[in-house]
Amino acid sequence: MPAARVMARRGAGRGQTRTVTDIDLLSPSSFAHGQPHDQFTWLREHDPVHWHPEPGGEGFWAVTRYADVRSVGRDPATFSSVPGIMIPDDGAMELGEHQMMIMTDPPRHSSLRKVVAREFIPKVAQAMRPRIDVLATNIIDQVAAAGACDLVPDVAGLMPSYVIADMLGIPHEDGVALYELTEAIHAAPESQAAGAAMQAILEMFNYANGVWQARRAEPSDDLADIIAHATVDGRELDVIDFNLFFLLLIDAGGDTTRNLVAGGMDALFAHPEQMAWLMADLDARLAPAVEELLRWVSPVVYMRRTAQQDTELRGVPIRAGQKVVMYYGSANRDPEVFGPSAGELDLSRAPNDHIAFGGGGPHFCLGAHIARQEIHALLRELLTRCVDLRPAGETEWLPSTFISGPKS
Protein backbone atom coordinates (compact mmCIF):
# COMPACT_ATOMS: atom_id res chain seq x y z
CA MET A 1 0.00 0.00 0.00
CA PRO A 2 1.94 3.04 -1.23
CA ALA A 3 -0.58 5.53 0.15
CA ALA A 4 1.68 6.86 2.92
CA ARG A 5 4.31 7.92 0.42
CA VAL A 6 1.83 9.27 -2.12
CA MET A 7 0.20 11.46 0.51
CA ALA A 8 3.45 12.46 2.14
CA ARG A 9 3.38 16.01 0.88
CA ARG A 10 -0.31 16.62 1.40
CA GLY A 11 -0.86 19.93 3.05
CA ALA A 12 2.35 21.37 1.63
CA GLY A 13 1.77 24.57 -0.30
CA ARG A 14 -1.13 25.54 1.94
CA GLY A 15 1.01 27.14 4.57
CA GLN A 16 1.16 23.83 6.44
CA THR A 17 4.56 22.80 7.70
CA ARG A 18 3.37 19.42 8.98
CA THR A 19 3.38 16.53 6.53
CA VAL A 20 1.98 13.09 6.87
CA THR A 21 5.49 11.83 7.62
CA ASP A 22 5.21 13.65 10.99
CA ILE A 23 2.20 11.57 11.93
CA ASP A 24 3.03 8.74 14.31
CA LEU A 25 0.15 7.41 16.34
CA LEU A 26 2.08 4.29 17.35
CA SER A 27 4.95 5.96 19.14
CA PRO A 28 4.57 6.35 22.91
CA SER A 29 6.50 9.61 22.51
CA SER A 30 3.52 11.08 20.62
CA PHE A 31 1.52 10.50 23.83
CA ALA A 32 4.22 11.67 26.25
CA HIS A 33 2.22 14.79 27.19
CA GLY A 34 -1.31 13.51 26.63
CA GLN A 35 -3.01 12.85 23.31
CA PRO A 36 -1.29 14.21 20.15
CA HIS A 37 -3.91 16.86 19.37
CA ASP A 38 -1.64 18.64 16.90
CA GLN A 39 -1.49 15.45 14.84
CA PHE A 40 -5.23 14.88 15.20
CA THR A 41 -6.03 18.43 14.04
CA TRP A 42 -3.87 17.97 10.95
CA LEU A 43 -5.43 14.61 10.18
CA ARG A 44 -9.02 15.83 10.57
CA GLU A 45 -8.31 18.73 8.23
CA HIS A 46 -6.14 17.05 5.60
CA ASP A 47 -6.48 13.30 5.71
CA PRO A 48 -9.39 12.18 7.89
CA VAL A 49 -9.16 8.56 6.69
CA HIS A 50 -5.40 8.19 6.83
CA TRP A 51 -3.34 5.13 5.92
CA HIS A 52 -0.92 4.69 8.83
CA PRO A 53 2.11 2.40 8.54
CA GLU A 54 2.64 -0.18 11.28
CA PRO A 55 6.13 -1.55 11.94
CA GLY A 56 5.84 -5.33 11.93
CA GLY A 57 2.20 -5.14 10.80
CA GLU A 58 0.23 -4.39 7.68
CA GLY A 59 -0.82 -0.86 8.64
CA PHE A 60 -4.24 0.60 9.47
CA TRP A 61 -6.69 3.34 8.59
CA ALA A 62 -6.67 6.10 11.22
CA VAL A 63 -10.17 7.63 11.39
CA THR A 64 -10.21 11.00 13.14
CA ARG A 65 -13.50 12.79 12.37
CA TYR A 66 -16.48 12.49 14.71
CA ALA A 67 -19.01 11.48 12.03
CA ASP A 68 -16.72 8.75 10.69
CA VAL A 69 -15.82 7.38 14.13
CA ARG A 70 -19.52 7.10 14.92
CA SER A 71 -20.43 5.42 11.66
CA VAL A 72 -17.63 2.83 11.96
CA GLY A 73 -18.56 2.02 15.57
CA ARG A 74 -22.23 1.61 14.70
CA ASP A 75 -21.72 -0.74 11.76
CA PRO A 76 -20.41 -4.08 13.07
CA ALA A 77 -21.61 -5.85 9.90
CA THR A 78 -18.97 -3.92 7.94
CA PHE A 79 -16.45 -3.14 10.68
CA SER A 80 -15.95 -6.16 12.91
CA SER A 81 -14.50 -6.40 16.44
CA VAL A 82 -13.03 -9.80 15.50
CA PRO A 83 -10.15 -10.64 15.87
CA GLY A 84 -9.48 -7.77 18.31
CA ILE A 85 -9.81 -4.14 19.28
CA MET A 86 -6.14 -3.21 19.63
CA ILE A 87 -3.90 -2.47 16.64
CA PRO A 88 -1.28 -5.24 17.05
CA ASP A 89 -2.43 -8.80 16.34
CA ASP A 90 0.47 -10.50 18.08
CA GLY A 91 -1.17 -10.86 21.52
CA ALA A 92 -3.93 -13.09 20.10
CA MET A 93 -4.41 -16.35 21.99
CA GLU A 94 -5.97 -19.50 20.57
CA LEU A 95 -9.18 -19.73 22.59
CA GLY A 96 -11.30 -22.10 20.48
CA GLU A 97 -14.98 -21.42 21.03
CA HIS A 98 -14.26 -18.88 23.79
CA GLN A 99 -14.29 -15.15 23.07
CA MET A 100 -14.02 -12.01 25.10
CA MET A 101 -17.23 -10.01 24.64
CA ILE A 102 -15.47 -6.86 23.44
CA MET A 103 -13.90 -8.88 20.61
CA THR A 104 -17.15 -10.30 19.24
CA ASP A 105 -19.90 -9.09 16.89
CA PRO A 106 -23.66 -9.48 17.12
CA PRO A 107 -25.41 -11.88 17.51
CA ARG A 108 -22.74 -13.58 19.68
CA HIS A 109 -21.92 -10.23 21.29
CA SER A 110 -25.57 -9.57 22.21
CA SER A 111 -25.85 -12.96 23.95
CA LEU A 112 -22.67 -12.41 25.98
CA ARG A 113 -23.58 -8.84 26.92
CA LYS A 114 -26.99 -10.00 28.17
CA VAL A 115 -25.27 -12.07 30.87
CA VAL A 116 -24.05 -8.97 32.71
CA ALA A 117 -25.99 -6.02 31.23
CA ARG A 118 -28.62 -5.70 33.94
CA GLU A 119 -25.94 -5.14 36.60
CA PHE A 120 -24.89 -1.96 34.78
CA ILE A 121 -28.19 -0.22 33.98
CA PRO A 122 -28.77 3.36 35.23
CA LYS A 123 -31.09 2.23 38.06
CA VAL A 124 -28.46 -0.13 39.47
CA ALA A 125 -25.72 2.51 39.08
CA GLN A 126 -27.88 5.01 40.96
CA ALA A 127 -28.58 2.50 43.72
CA MET A 128 -24.81 2.06 44.13
CA ARG A 129 -24.33 5.79 44.77
CA PRO A 130 -24.59 5.82 48.59
CA ARG A 131 -21.95 3.08 48.78
CA ILE A 132 -19.77 4.93 46.23
CA ASP A 133 -20.09 8.11 48.34
CA VAL A 134 -18.81 6.20 51.39
CA LEU A 135 -15.85 4.92 49.34
CA ALA A 136 -15.10 8.49 48.21
CA THR A 137 -15.11 9.70 51.82
CA ASN A 138 -12.79 6.87 52.90
CA ILE A 139 -10.38 7.52 50.04
CA ILE A 140 -10.13 11.24 50.83
CA ASP A 141 -9.87 10.48 54.59
CA GLN A 142 -6.67 8.55 53.84
CA VAL A 143 -4.96 11.46 52.07
CA ALA A 144 -6.51 14.66 53.45
CA ALA A 145 -4.47 14.71 56.64
CA ALA A 146 -1.18 13.97 54.85
CA GLY A 147 -1.29 17.26 53.00
CA ALA A 148 0.18 15.81 49.79
CA CYS A 149 -0.28 12.64 47.76
CA ASP A 150 0.06 11.16 44.29
CA LEU A 151 -3.44 11.73 42.94
CA VAL A 152 -3.21 8.82 40.47
CA PRO A 153 -2.69 5.77 42.73
CA ASP A 154 -3.73 7.30 46.08
CA VAL A 155 -7.07 8.78 44.99
CA ALA A 156 -8.17 8.31 41.38
CA GLY A 157 -7.10 4.67 41.00
CA LEU A 158 -8.65 3.45 44.24
CA MET A 159 -12.28 4.22 43.39
CA PRO A 160 -12.71 2.00 40.29
CA SER A 161 -10.73 -0.81 41.87
CA TYR A 162 -12.90 -0.74 45.02
CA VAL A 163 -16.15 -0.57 43.03
CA ILE A 164 -15.38 -3.46 40.69
CA ALA A 165 -14.06 -5.46 43.67
CA ASP A 166 -17.39 -4.89 45.46
CA MET A 167 -19.32 -5.90 42.33
CA LEU A 168 -17.27 -9.09 41.84
CA GLY A 169 -17.28 -9.93 45.55
CA ILE A 170 -13.50 -9.84 46.07
CA PRO A 171 -11.47 -7.91 48.71
CA HIS A 172 -10.65 -4.27 47.96
CA GLU A 173 -6.90 -4.86 48.18
CA ASP A 174 -7.16 -7.59 45.53
CA GLY A 175 -9.04 -5.16 43.29
CA VAL A 176 -6.16 -2.70 43.67
CA ALA A 177 -3.52 -5.38 42.89
CA LEU A 178 -5.46 -6.57 39.83
CA TYR A 179 -5.67 -3.01 38.51
CA GLU A 180 -1.91 -2.75 38.68
CA LEU A 181 -1.78 -5.70 36.29
CA THR A 182 -3.98 -3.87 33.78
CA GLU A 183 -1.35 -1.17 33.49
CA ALA A 184 1.19 -3.71 32.23
CA ILE A 185 -1.47 -5.03 29.84
CA HIS A 186 -2.00 -1.59 28.27
CA ALA A 187 1.58 -0.24 28.30
CA ALA A 188 3.37 0.12 24.96
CA PRO A 189 5.55 -3.03 24.53
CA GLU A 190 8.75 -0.97 24.16
CA SER A 191 8.14 0.71 27.53
CA GLN A 192 8.48 -2.50 29.58
CA ALA A 193 10.25 -5.88 29.74
CA ALA A 194 9.46 -8.35 26.95
CA GLY A 195 6.48 -10.54 27.85
CA ALA A 196 5.34 -8.29 30.73
CA ALA A 197 1.84 -7.88 29.27
CA MET A 198 1.34 -11.63 28.79
CA GLN A 199 2.68 -12.29 32.29
CA ALA A 200 0.12 -9.85 33.70
CA ILE A 201 -2.71 -11.55 31.77
CA LEU A 202 -1.64 -14.94 33.14
CA GLU A 203 -1.56 -13.61 36.70
CA MET A 204 -5.05 -12.21 36.19
CA PHE A 205 -6.31 -15.58 34.88
CA ASN A 206 -4.70 -17.34 37.81
CA TYR A 207 -6.61 -15.14 40.24
CA ALA A 208 -9.84 -15.47 38.23
CA ASN A 209 -9.52 -19.27 38.37
CA GLY A 210 -9.68 -19.08 42.16
CA VAL A 211 -12.81 -16.90 42.07
CA TRP A 212 -14.44 -19.30 39.58
CA GLN A 213 -13.76 -22.27 41.82
CA ALA A 214 -15.08 -20.44 44.88
CA ARG A 215 -18.35 -19.45 43.14
CA ARG A 216 -18.89 -22.91 41.66
CA ALA A 217 -18.36 -24.42 45.12
CA GLU A 218 -20.56 -21.94 46.95
CA PRO A 219 -22.98 -19.56 45.22
CA SER A 220 -23.07 -15.94 46.32
CA ASP A 221 -24.98 -12.84 45.26
CA ASP A 222 -22.34 -11.01 43.24
CA LEU A 223 -21.54 -10.40 39.58
CA ALA A 224 -18.87 -13.14 39.59
CA ASP A 225 -21.56 -15.62 40.61
CA ILE A 226 -23.84 -14.51 37.76
CA ILE A 227 -21.08 -15.15 35.22
CA ALA A 228 -19.98 -18.43 36.84
CA HIS A 229 -23.51 -19.83 36.48
CA ALA A 230 -24.51 -18.36 33.10
CA THR A 231 -25.61 -20.21 29.97
CA VAL A 232 -25.06 -18.51 26.62
CA ASP A 233 -26.60 -19.78 23.38
CA GLY A 234 -27.33 -23.12 25.02
CA ARG A 235 -23.81 -23.70 26.41
CA GLU A 236 -22.88 -23.27 30.07
CA LEU A 237 -20.00 -20.83 30.44
CA ASP A 238 -16.82 -22.55 31.57
CA VAL A 239 -13.74 -21.39 33.45
CA ILE A 240 -12.14 -19.93 30.31
CA ASP A 241 -15.26 -17.87 29.52
CA PHE A 242 -15.27 -16.75 33.16
CA ASN A 243 -11.60 -15.68 33.00
CA LEU A 244 -12.21 -13.65 29.85
CA PHE A 245 -15.21 -11.86 31.39
CA PHE A 246 -13.25 -11.25 34.59
CA LEU A 247 -10.28 -9.79 32.72
CA LEU A 248 -12.56 -7.55 30.64
CA LEU A 249 -14.45 -6.21 33.67
CA ILE A 250 -11.29 -5.52 35.67
CA ASP A 251 -9.53 -4.09 32.67
CA ALA A 252 -12.21 -1.89 31.12
CA GLY A 253 -13.22 0.15 34.12
CA GLY A 254 -9.94 0.70 35.95
CA ASP A 255 -7.45 2.98 34.29
CA THR A 256 -10.20 4.58 32.21
CA THR A 257 -12.02 5.97 35.25
CA ARG A 258 -8.77 6.67 37.07
CA ASN A 259 -7.39 8.60 34.09
CA LEU A 260 -10.54 10.65 33.82
CA VAL A 261 -10.32 11.78 37.46
CA ALA A 262 -6.55 12.38 37.39
CA GLY A 263 -6.54 13.84 33.85
CA GLY A 264 -9.58 15.91 34.78
CA MET A 265 -7.80 17.38 37.79
CA ASP A 266 -4.75 18.08 35.63
CA ALA A 267 -7.03 19.97 33.21
CA LEU A 268 -8.64 21.94 36.06
CA PHE A 269 -5.22 22.93 37.42
CA ALA A 270 -4.22 24.09 33.93
CA HIS A 271 -7.43 26.14 33.58
CA PRO A 272 -7.85 28.05 36.87
CA GLU A 273 -10.69 30.18 35.47
CA GLN A 274 -12.65 26.99 34.73
CA MET A 275 -11.89 25.64 38.21
CA ALA A 276 -13.17 28.93 39.69
CA TRP A 277 -16.37 28.73 37.62
CA LEU A 278 -16.94 25.16 38.81
CA MET A 279 -16.29 25.91 42.47
CA ALA A 280 -18.69 28.85 42.45
CA ASP A 281 -21.61 26.37 42.34
CA LEU A 282 -20.17 22.88 42.55
CA ASP A 283 -23.46 21.04 43.09
CA ALA A 284 -25.15 22.52 40.05
CA ARG A 285 -22.10 22.57 37.79
CA LEU A 286 -20.37 19.27 38.46
CA ALA A 287 -22.56 17.18 36.13
CA PRO A 288 -21.88 19.23 32.95
CA ALA A 289 -18.26 19.61 34.05
CA VAL A 290 -17.82 15.81 34.22
CA GLU A 291 -19.16 15.50 30.66
CA GLU A 292 -16.72 18.14 29.43
CA LEU A 293 -13.82 16.45 31.24
CA LEU A 294 -14.82 13.18 29.55
CA ARG A 295 -14.72 14.95 26.18
CA TRP A 296 -11.45 16.68 27.03
CA VAL A 297 -9.53 13.71 28.47
CA SER A 298 -11.09 10.90 26.36
CA PRO A 299 -9.25 8.19 28.33
CA VAL A 300 -9.74 5.55 25.63
CA VAL A 301 -7.50 6.69 22.77
CA TYR A 302 -8.87 4.28 20.17
CA MET A 303 -10.80 1.12 19.36
CA ARG A 304 -9.94 -0.91 16.29
CA ARG A 305 -12.27 -2.66 13.88
CA THR A 306 -11.52 -4.87 10.85
CA ALA A 307 -13.30 -4.47 7.51
CA GLN A 308 -15.43 -7.53 6.76
CA GLN A 309 -15.66 -6.75 3.06
CA ASP A 310 -14.44 -4.15 0.60
CA THR A 311 -16.06 -0.84 1.49
CA GLU A 312 -15.35 2.88 1.58
CA LEU A 313 -15.27 5.67 4.12
CA ARG A 314 -15.47 9.33 3.07
CA GLY A 315 -14.73 8.16 -0.47
CA VAL A 316 -11.57 6.28 0.57
CA PRO A 317 -11.64 2.64 -0.54
CA ILE A 318 -11.02 0.16 2.29
CA ARG A 319 -10.25 -3.46 1.49
CA ALA A 320 -11.63 -6.51 3.30
CA GLY A 321 -9.31 -7.47 6.16
CA GLN A 322 -7.82 -4.01 6.67
CA LYS A 323 -7.73 -2.50 10.16
CA VAL A 324 -9.81 0.62 10.79
CA VAL A 325 -9.02 2.55 13.97
CA MET A 326 -11.40 5.05 15.61
CA TYR A 327 -9.62 7.86 17.47
CA TYR A 328 -12.08 9.07 20.13
CA GLY A 329 -9.89 11.90 21.45
CA SER A 330 -9.77 13.39 17.96
CA ALA A 331 -13.49 12.94 17.32
CA ASN A 332 -14.16 14.71 20.60
CA ARG A 333 -12.32 17.83 19.37
CA ASP A 334 -13.97 17.93 15.94
CA PRO A 335 -15.10 21.53 15.21
CA GLU A 336 -17.79 20.13 12.90
CA VAL A 337 -19.62 19.00 16.06
CA PHE A 338 -18.21 21.13 18.89
CA GLY A 339 -17.83 24.36 16.92
CA PRO A 340 -14.96 26.83 16.99
CA SER A 341 -14.44 26.21 20.73
CA ALA A 342 -13.78 22.47 20.17
CA GLY A 343 -10.17 22.95 21.29
CA GLU A 344 -11.10 24.82 24.46
CA LEU A 345 -12.10 23.42 27.83
CA ASP A 346 -15.57 24.80 28.59
CA LEU A 347 -17.12 23.10 31.62
CA SER A 348 -20.48 24.72 30.85
CA ARG A 349 -20.62 23.23 27.33
CA ALA A 350 -24.17 22.30 26.29
CA PRO A 351 -25.04 20.30 24.33
CA ASN A 352 -22.05 18.02 24.77
CA ASP A 353 -22.42 14.94 22.58
CA HIS A 354 -18.95 13.60 23.30
CA ILE A 355 -18.17 10.00 22.44
CA ALA A 356 -15.66 9.20 25.19
CA PHE A 357 -17.75 6.08 25.98
CA GLY A 358 -18.06 5.14 22.30
CA GLY A 359 -20.21 6.37 19.46
CA GLY A 360 -23.36 4.43 20.38
CA GLY A 361 -22.78 1.09 18.65
CA PRO A 362 -23.31 -2.34 20.25
CA HIS A 363 -20.11 -2.08 22.30
CA PHE A 364 -21.04 1.28 23.85
CA CYS A 365 -19.34 1.35 27.25
CA LEU A 366 -21.15 -1.05 29.55
CA GLY A 367 -19.86 0.78 32.62
CA ALA A 368 -20.71 4.36 31.56
CA HIS A 369 -23.41 4.89 34.21
CA ILE A 370 -21.28 3.47 37.00
CA ALA A 371 -18.22 5.40 35.81
CA ARG A 372 -20.19 8.66 35.95
CA GLN A 373 -21.27 7.92 39.55
CA GLU A 374 -17.68 7.15 40.56
CA ILE A 375 -16.23 10.24 38.89
CA HIS A 376 -18.93 12.53 40.26
CA ALA A 377 -18.60 11.22 43.83
CA LEU A 378 -14.81 11.34 43.90
CA LEU A 379 -14.45 14.80 42.34
CA ARG A 380 -17.14 16.17 44.64
CA GLU A 381 -15.44 14.81 47.73
CA LEU A 382 -11.99 15.92 46.59
CA LEU A 383 -13.06 19.44 45.65
CA THR A 384 -15.16 20.08 48.75
CA ARG A 385 -12.88 18.53 51.37
CA CYS A 386 -9.50 19.61 50.04
CA VAL A 387 -9.60 23.38 49.81
CA ASP A 388 -6.70 25.18 48.15
CA LEU A 389 -5.74 22.16 46.03
CA ARG A 390 -2.52 22.59 44.10
CA PRO A 391 -0.30 20.40 41.93
CA ALA A 392 2.69 19.16 43.95
CA GLY A 393 4.79 18.46 40.84
CA GLU A 394 4.80 17.90 37.10
CA THR A 395 2.22 15.50 35.66
CA GLU A 396 3.83 12.42 34.12
CA TRP A 397 1.84 10.68 31.37
CA LEU A 398 1.35 6.98 30.71
CA PRO A 399 3.53 5.53 27.95
CA SER A 400 0.46 4.08 26.20
CA THR A 401 -0.93 4.66 22.72
CA PHE A 402 -4.23 3.02 23.74
CA ILE A 403 -5.24 4.49 27.11
CA SER A 404 -4.42 8.11 27.85
CA GLY A 405 -3.93 9.71 31.23
CA PRO A 406 -1.48 10.73 33.90
CA LYS A 407 0.83 8.08 35.31
CA SER A 408 1.73 10.21 38.32
CA–CA dist 292, 353 (Å, integer): 9
Nearest residue by C-beta to ligand HEM?
367
The 3-state DSSP class for residue 62 equals: strand
Neighbours of 137 (CB within 10 A): 14
Residue choice 371, 382, 383, 403 for contact with ligand HEM (CB under 6 A): 371
User: Is 11 or 299 the residue whose CB approaches ligand HEM more closely?
Assistant: 299
Report the nearest approach of ligand HEM to the CB of residue 258 (Å): 8
Q: How many CA atoms lie within 13 A of 373 on its CB side?
A: 23
Q: 257-280 in b/e burial notation, b at 16+ Cβ within 10 A?
A: bbbbbbbbbbbbeebeebbeebee
User: Is 303 or 342 the residue whose CB approaches ligand HEM more closely?
Assistant: 303
Q: Contact between 367 and ligand HEM (CB under 6 A)?
A: yes
Among 280, 302, 282, 289, residue whose Cα is nearest residue 261: 289
Q: 197-208 in b/e burial notation, b at 16+ Cβ within 10 A?
A: beebbeebbebb
- Interactions with ligand HEM, residue window 93-112 (CB under 6 A): 101-102
User: Is 34 or 73 the residue whose CB approaches ligand HEM more closely?
Assistant: 73
Report the nearest approach of ligand HEM to the CB of residue 394 (Å): 23
CA–CA dist 135, 380 (Å, integer): 12
- Interactions with ligand HEM, residue window 118-177 (CB under 6 A): 160, 164
Report the nearest approach of ligand HEM to the CB of residue 109 (Å): 6
The count of residues in the chain is 408
Residue choice 79, 357, 397, 402 for contact with ligand HEM (CB under 6 A): 357
Region of 58-66, 196-204, 316-324, 357-365 interacting with ligand HEM (CB under 6 A): 357-365
Contact residues: ligand HEM, CB under 6 A: 73, 101-102, 113, 160, 164, 248-249, 252-253, 256-257, 260, 299-300, 303, 328, 356-359, 361, 363-367, 370-371
